[in-house]
Chain A
Amino acid sequence: MSGNIYIYVLVMAVVTYLIRLIPLTLIRKEIKNNYIKSFLYYVPFVTLAVMTFPAILYGTESMISGLAGFITALVLAYAGQSLIVVSVLSCLAVFIVELIV
């Protein structure tokens, strides 16, 4: 390491913060354009779906336990369980499957 570590940290923190801050401060009014409104409405569903699958299968020790966690989460979420219940029980499913397999 030759560069100053604290300057690196400062640079990354500032860049990351500005990316988050600028849209929040520039867009202060409610957007009236229906196309942009619809686009922003759909954004979270696409981002979350893209981030979750297939990544959930690759994060665990084996793909089988990842799949168990995925299916558990789908079933519980479909049954309308809360965030914490879905989250904790899918972790538990992974844990149990890894004990067995």
Chain B
Amino acid sequence: MDRKQCIINGIRDGIPICLGYIAVSFTFGIMAKNAGLTVFQAVLISATNLTSAGQFAALGIIGASSSYLEMAFTQLIINLRYCLMSCSLSQKFDEKTRFFHRFFVAYGVTDEIFAVTVSRPGRLRPPYSYGMIAISTFGWTLGTFLGIVSGSILPERVISALSVALYGMFIAIIIPPAKKDKVIRGIVLISMLASLAFGYIPVIRDISSGFKIIILTVIIAGIAAALFPVKDDGEDRAAEGS
């Protein structure tokens, strides 16, 4: 596959991400307006951060005029899951891939871009990532812009419908391998049930969603790795891709 085709494929696979991002960042734009930010400031936050929960939390911190240290710490806690994702993604890189690519690919480590990238068979192709990052960032900043310029361009029904775009994509990523592999099927089911239970157990339910993801991932993937070690090299991973 040549570079141009890689970029095009990345853009194509990024379309659902773009749609979902427009819906989510639209809401962010509206909230940024309520928090008193200008159009430029809101779009700047979206373009430089490319993260949902972190940005929403930031609005509260800016609004309350909290310290910069508090901002740094909050972002660290909420976004620490990206660290786990980057560790996983590091194994998709070919050792021969030029080093500077890691700096650009790192910018686009979001839940969604990570999910699609890591589920592709074979090694990570930077041009593919760049296509996906470009269209995703476009959707994220466009939605922010539309949200802050006018909260009424998109009807509420459309926003509501688009809000499942990202989840639909996640399901499309995890179900096909779960269908083929009993272990993955069990992991997916247990993860969903644990996630549901998390919302009902006192004390635990107050844990932020970023931390919930980290805690459950470490526990469930940790146990699964001990009980069902993956057989050597990338064979399994290659078999699951679409």
* Chain A residues near B166 (CB-CB < 8 A): 87
Q: Is the CB of B86 within 8 A of A95?
A: no
Q: Would you call A40 and B179 a contact (CB within 8 A)?
A: no
A48 near B164 (CB under 8 angstroms)?
no
CA–CA, A82 to B191, complex, Å?
A: 23
With A8-B61, A86-B168 already in contact, the answer to whether A44 and B88 are too (CB < 8 A) is: yes
CB pair A50 B213 closer than 8 Å: yes
Cβ contact within 8 Å between B230 and A83: no
Q: Is the CB of A3 within 8 A of B62?
A: yes
Is there contact, CB below 8 Å, between B71 and A12? yes
* B168 partner residues in chain A, CB cutoff 8 A: 69, 72-73, 86-91
The smallest beta-carbon distance between B239 and chain A, in angstroms, is 12
The residue in chain A whose Cβ has the minimal distance to the Cβ of B69 is A11
Q: For A8, what are the chain B residues with a Cβ–Cβ distance below 8 Å? A: 58, 61-62, 68, 71
Task: Report the nearest A residue to B90, measured CB to CB.
Answer: A27
Interface size on B, residues (CB 8 A): 108
The CA of A70 and the CA of B167, in the complex, are separated in Å by 8
* Contact flag A40-B91 (CB < 8 Å), given A3-B68, A24-B86: yes
* Interface residue? B204 (CB, 8 A): no
**Do the beta carbons of A83 and B172 come within 8 Å of each other?**
yes
B20 proximal to A (CB < 8 A): yes
Nearest opposing residue in chain B for A91, CB measure: B161
Q: Does B152 contact A (CB under 8 A)?
A: no
Closest 8 CB pairs of A and B: A49-B191, A77-B175, A87-B16, A90-B168, A38-B225, A86-B172, A23-B86, A27-B90
12 A-B contacts (beta carbon < 8 Å): A12-B72, A25-B106, A40-B221, A42-B184, A43-B87, A59-B164, A73-B167, A78-B175, A83-B116, A87-B19, A90-B168, A91-B162
B: which residues have CB within 8 A of A?
A: 12-13, 15-16, 19-20, 36-37, 41, 44-45, 48-51, 54-55, 58, 61-63, 65-68, 71-72, 75-76, 79-91, 93, 95, 99, 102-103, 105-107, 109, 111, 114-116, 118-119, 156-158, 160-179, 184, 187-189, 191-192, 194-196, 199, 209, 212-213, 216-217, 220-222, 224-226, 228-230, 232, 236-237, 242
